[in-house]
Chains A and B, each alone.
Chain A
Amino acid sequence: AQKVTQAQTEISVVEKEDVTLDCVYETRDTTYYLFWYKQPPSGELVFLIRRNSFDEQNEISGRYSWNFQKSTSSFNFTITASQVVDSAVYFCALSGPRNQGGKLIFGQGTELSVKP
Protein backbone atom coordinates (compact mmCIF):
# COMPACT_ATOMS: atom_id res chain seq x y z
CA ALA A 1 0.00 0.00 0.00
CA GLN A 2 1.10 3.54 -0.60
CA LYS A 3 1.46 5.94 2.27
CA VAL A 4 2.92 9.38 2.92
CA THR A 5 3.80 10.58 6.40
CA GLN A 6 4.46 14.17 7.37
CA ALA A 7 5.26 13.89 11.05
CA GLN A 8 5.36 17.62 11.67
CA THR A 9 1.83 18.92 12.05
CA GLU A 10 2.79 22.52 12.74
CA ILE A 11 6.02 24.47 12.56
CA SER A 12 6.52 28.04 13.68
CA VAL A 13 9.63 30.02 12.78
CA VAL A 14 10.73 33.60 12.76
CA GLU A 15 11.35 35.31 9.45
CA LYS A 16 14.77 34.59 7.89
CA GLU A 17 15.14 31.29 9.68
CA ASP A 18 15.70 28.15 7.61
CA VAL A 19 13.08 25.45 7.97
CA THR A 20 12.89 21.85 6.78
CA LEU A 21 9.63 20.01 6.23
CA ASP A 22 9.93 16.24 6.46
CA CYS A 23 8.25 13.70 4.23
CA VAL A 24 8.54 9.91 4.44
CA TYR A 25 6.80 7.65 1.96
CA GLU A 26 5.98 3.98 1.51
CA THR A 27 5.39 2.25 -1.78
CA ARG A 28 6.02 -1.10 -3.45
CA ASP A 29 6.25 0.42 -6.90
CA THR A 30 9.71 0.69 -8.43
CA THR A 31 8.57 3.64 -10.50
CA TYR A 32 6.82 6.38 -8.61
CA TYR A 33 6.60 10.14 -8.37
CA LEU A 34 6.82 12.49 -5.44
CA PHE A 35 5.37 15.97 -5.20
CA TRP A 36 5.22 18.96 -2.94
CA TYR A 37 2.23 21.31 -2.96
CA LYS A 38 1.62 24.53 -1.08
CA GLN A 39 -1.86 25.46 0.15
CA PRO A 40 -2.21 29.10 1.19
CA PRO A 41 -5.27 30.25 3.16
CA SER A 42 -7.15 30.74 -0.12
CA GLY A 43 -7.33 26.95 -0.40
CA GLU A 44 -5.90 26.35 -3.84
CA LEU A 45 -3.10 23.78 -3.99
CA VAL A 46 -0.05 25.20 -5.72
CA PHE A 47 2.35 22.77 -7.38
CA LEU A 48 5.97 23.20 -6.25
CA ILE A 49 7.95 20.24 -7.52
CA ARG A 50 7.80 16.72 -8.95
CA ARG A 51 10.48 14.08 -8.51
CA ASN A 52 10.77 10.74 -10.32
CA SER A 53 11.92 7.67 -8.42
CA PHE A 54 14.79 7.14 -10.83
CA ASP A 55 16.19 10.63 -10.36
CA GLU A 56 17.71 11.22 -6.93
CA GLN A 57 19.35 14.47 -7.86
CA ASN A 58 18.52 17.18 -5.37
CA GLU A 59 16.99 20.35 -6.65
CA ILE A 60 17.21 24.00 -5.72
CA SER A 61 14.82 26.68 -6.86
CA GLY A 62 15.54 30.04 -5.33
CA ARG A 63 15.00 29.74 -1.59
CA TYR A 64 13.47 26.28 -1.98
CA SER A 65 15.42 23.04 -2.06
CA TRP A 66 14.45 19.41 -2.01
CA ASN A 67 16.41 16.41 -0.75
CA PHE A 68 15.29 13.06 -2.17
CA GLN A 69 16.81 9.94 -0.58
CA LYS A 70 15.51 6.57 -1.72
CA SER A 71 17.56 4.77 0.91
CA THR A 72 15.47 6.36 3.66
CA SER A 73 12.30 6.84 1.57
CA SER A 74 12.35 10.53 2.30
CA PHE A 75 11.70 13.63 0.26
CA ASN A 76 12.36 16.62 2.47
CA PHE A 77 11.73 20.25 1.63
CA THR A 78 13.83 23.13 2.92
CA ILE A 79 13.00 26.81 2.79
CA THR A 80 16.00 29.04 3.26
CA ALA A 81 15.60 32.48 4.80
CA SER A 82 11.87 32.02 5.31
CA GLN A 83 9.46 34.87 4.67
CA VAL A 84 6.00 35.65 5.99
CA VAL A 85 4.57 34.84 2.54
CA ASP A 86 5.79 31.26 3.00
CA SER A 87 3.14 30.75 5.67
CA ALA A 88 0.86 28.00 4.38
CA VAL A 89 0.11 24.31 4.65
CA TYR A 90 2.56 22.19 2.71
CA PHE A 91 1.66 18.76 1.40
CA CYS A 92 3.90 15.97 0.23
CA ALA A 93 2.26 13.53 -2.20
CA LEU A 94 3.04 10.24 -3.91
CA SER A 95 1.85 8.71 -7.16
CA GLY A 96 2.49 5.36 -8.78
CA PRO A 97 3.59 4.66 -12.35
CA ARG A 98 1.68 6.35 -15.14
CA ASN A 99 -0.26 3.24 -16.06
CA GLN A 100 -1.98 3.57 -12.70
CA GLY A 101 -3.34 6.96 -13.60
CA GLY A 102 -3.02 10.22 -11.76
CA LYS A 103 -4.07 9.26 -8.25
CA LEU A 104 -2.15 11.24 -5.63
CA ILE A 105 -1.68 10.00 -2.08
CA PHE A 106 -1.19 12.98 0.21
CA GLY A 107 0.43 13.31 3.59
CA GLN A 108 -1.48 15.03 6.36
CA GLY A 109 0.27 18.31 5.68
CA THR A 110 2.55 20.57 7.68
CA GLU A 111 1.27 23.99 8.64
CA LEU A 112 4.12 26.46 8.49
CA SER A 113 3.79 29.78 10.26
CA VAL A 114 6.47 32.37 9.60
CA LYS A 115 6.34 35.26 12.03
CA PRO A 116 7.86 38.66 11.30
Chain B
Amino acid sequence: KAGVTQTPRYLIKTRGQQVTLSCSPISGHRSVSWYQQTPGQGLQFLFEYFSETQRNKGNFPGRFSGRQFSNSRSEMNVSTLELGDSALYLCASSLDLAGGLYNEQFFGPGTRLTVL
Protein backbone atom coordinates (compact mmCIF):
# COMPACT_ATOMS: atom_id res chain seq x y z
CA LYS B 1 0.00 0.00 0.00
CA ALA B 2 1.41 3.39 -0.95
CA GLY B 3 2.18 5.81 1.84
CA VAL B 4 1.22 9.43 2.21
CA THR B 5 2.50 11.46 -0.70
CA GLN B 6 3.12 15.18 -0.78
CA THR B 7 3.83 17.43 -3.70
CA PRO B 8 5.93 19.30 -4.40
CA ARG B 9 8.79 18.16 -2.19
CA TYR B 10 10.63 21.48 -2.43
CA LEU B 11 9.39 24.95 -3.17
CA ILE B 12 10.97 28.38 -3.28
CA LYS B 13 8.76 31.45 -3.21
CA THR B 14 9.17 35.15 -2.53
CA ARG B 15 7.45 37.26 0.07
CA GLY B 16 3.93 38.23 -0.82
CA GLN B 17 3.31 35.27 -3.11
CA GLN B 18 0.91 32.47 -2.35
CA VAL B 19 1.51 28.75 -2.41
CA THR B 20 -0.56 25.57 -2.58
CA LEU B 21 0.69 22.28 -1.22
CA SER B 22 -0.91 18.93 -1.95
CA CYS B 23 -1.30 15.77 0.09
CA SER B 24 -2.60 12.37 -0.97
CA PRO B 25 -3.43 10.17 2.01
CA ILE B 26 -3.02 6.44 2.28
CA SER B 27 -5.80 4.71 0.36
CA GLY B 28 -8.86 4.35 2.57
CA HIS B 29 -7.75 6.95 5.10
CA ARG B 30 -10.35 9.61 5.71
CA SER B 31 -8.60 12.07 8.01
CA VAL B 32 -5.82 14.38 6.87
CA SER B 33 -3.88 16.69 9.17
CA TRP B 34 -1.28 19.33 8.40
CA TYR B 35 1.67 20.36 10.56
CA GLN B 36 4.33 23.03 10.26
CA GLN B 37 7.85 22.26 11.45
CA THR B 38 10.39 25.00 12.08
CA PRO B 39 13.62 24.98 14.10
CA GLY B 40 12.27 27.60 16.49
CA GLN B 41 8.69 26.49 17.04
CA GLY B 42 9.02 22.77 16.41
CA LEU B 43 6.07 20.79 15.14
CA GLN B 44 2.82 22.70 15.25
CA PHE B 45 -0.64 21.58 14.25
CA LEU B 46 -2.25 23.58 11.47
CA PHE B 47 -5.59 21.88 10.79
CA GLU B 48 -7.34 18.59 10.28
CA TYR B 49 -9.89 17.58 7.68
CA PHE B 50 -12.32 14.73 7.80
CA SER B 51 -14.96 14.00 5.18
CA GLU B 52 -14.23 17.30 3.43
CA THR B 53 -14.86 19.28 6.63
CA GLN B 54 -12.36 21.04 8.82
CA ARG B 55 -12.59 19.24 12.15
CA ASN B 56 -9.80 20.95 14.04
CA LYS B 57 -7.75 24.08 13.68
CA GLY B 58 -4.51 25.23 15.26
CA ASN B 59 -3.42 28.75 16.15
CA PHE B 60 -2.34 30.04 12.79
CA PRO B 61 -3.43 33.22 11.02
CA GLY B 62 -6.12 33.16 8.38
CA ARG B 63 -3.45 33.23 5.66
CA PHE B 64 -3.23 29.51 6.20
CA SER B 65 -6.17 27.60 4.79
CA GLY B 66 -6.92 24.15 3.55
CA ARG B 67 -9.50 21.92 2.01
CA GLN B 68 -10.21 18.28 1.43
CA PHE B 69 -11.71 16.70 -1.63
CA SER B 70 -14.16 13.83 -1.91
CA ASN B 71 -11.30 11.39 -2.56
CA SER B 72 -9.71 12.53 0.75
CA ARG B 73 -6.86 14.31 -0.98
CA SER B 74 -6.08 17.59 0.70
CA GLU B 75 -4.50 20.89 -0.18
CA MET B 76 -3.25 23.67 2.01
CA ASN B 77 -2.78 27.22 0.85
CA VAL B 78 -0.70 30.00 2.31
CA SER B 79 -1.37 33.46 1.00
CA THR B 80 0.81 36.56 1.27
CA LEU B 81 3.88 34.58 2.23
CA GLU B 82 6.19 35.86 4.94
CA LEU B 83 9.79 34.94 5.64
CA GLY B 84 8.64 33.15 8.79
CA ASP B 85 6.55 30.77 6.75
CA SER B 86 9.71 28.99 5.64
CA ALA B 87 9.28 25.52 7.09
CA LEU B 88 8.77 21.86 6.48
CA TYR B 89 5.06 21.23 6.00
CA LEU B 90 4.01 17.74 6.93
CA CYS B 91 0.79 16.01 6.07
CA ALA B 92 -0.54 13.02 8.00
CA SER B 93 -3.43 10.67 7.34
CA SER B 94 -5.32 8.25 9.54
CA LEU B 95 -8.04 5.69 9.03
CA ASP B 96 -10.37 7.15 11.65
CA LEU B 97 -13.03 4.46 11.64
CA ALA B 98 -16.26 5.44 13.38
CA GLY B 99 -16.46 3.80 16.80
CA GLY B 100 -12.93 2.54 16.63
CA LEU B 101 -10.02 3.26 18.91
CA TYR B 102 -7.68 6.08 18.08
CA ASN B 103 -5.96 5.56 14.79
CA GLU B 104 -2.33 6.32 14.30
CA GLN B 105 -1.36 9.15 12.02
CA PHE B 106 1.02 8.30 9.22
CA PHE B 107 3.13 11.11 7.89
CA GLY B 108 4.28 12.01 4.42
CA PRO B 109 7.81 13.14 3.54
CA GLY B 110 6.87 16.79 3.74
CA THR B 111 7.18 19.83 1.52
CA ARG B 112 10.14 22.07 2.23
CA LEU B 113 9.03 25.66 1.62
CA THR B 114 11.58 28.43 1.45
CA VAL B 115 10.39 32.02 1.36
CA LEU B 116 12.92 34.57 0.11
Contact = CB atoms under 8 A, between A and B. Distances in A.
Nearest to B42: A108
Contacts of A50: 102, 104
Interface residues of A, number: 25
A103 B33 contact: yes
Chain B, interface residues (CB within 8 Å), range: 20 to 34
Interface string B73-110: 00000000000000010101010100001111111111
A101 B107 contact: no
Contacts of A43: 88, 90, 109-110, 112
Interface of B: 31, 33, 35, 42-45, 48, 50, 55-56, 58, 88, 90, 92, 94, 96, 101-110, 112
Interface of A: 33, 35, 37, 42-47, 50, 52, 91, 93, 95, 98, 100-109
A106 B48 contact: no
Contacts, number: 67
Contact of A98 (B88, B102, B107): B102
Given A102-B33, A102-B96, A95 B102 contact: yes
14 contacts: A33-B102, A37-B107, A43-B109, A44-B107, A45-B107, A47-B105, A47-B106, A93-B43, A95-B102, A101-B48, A103-B33, A104-B35, A106-B43, A109-B43
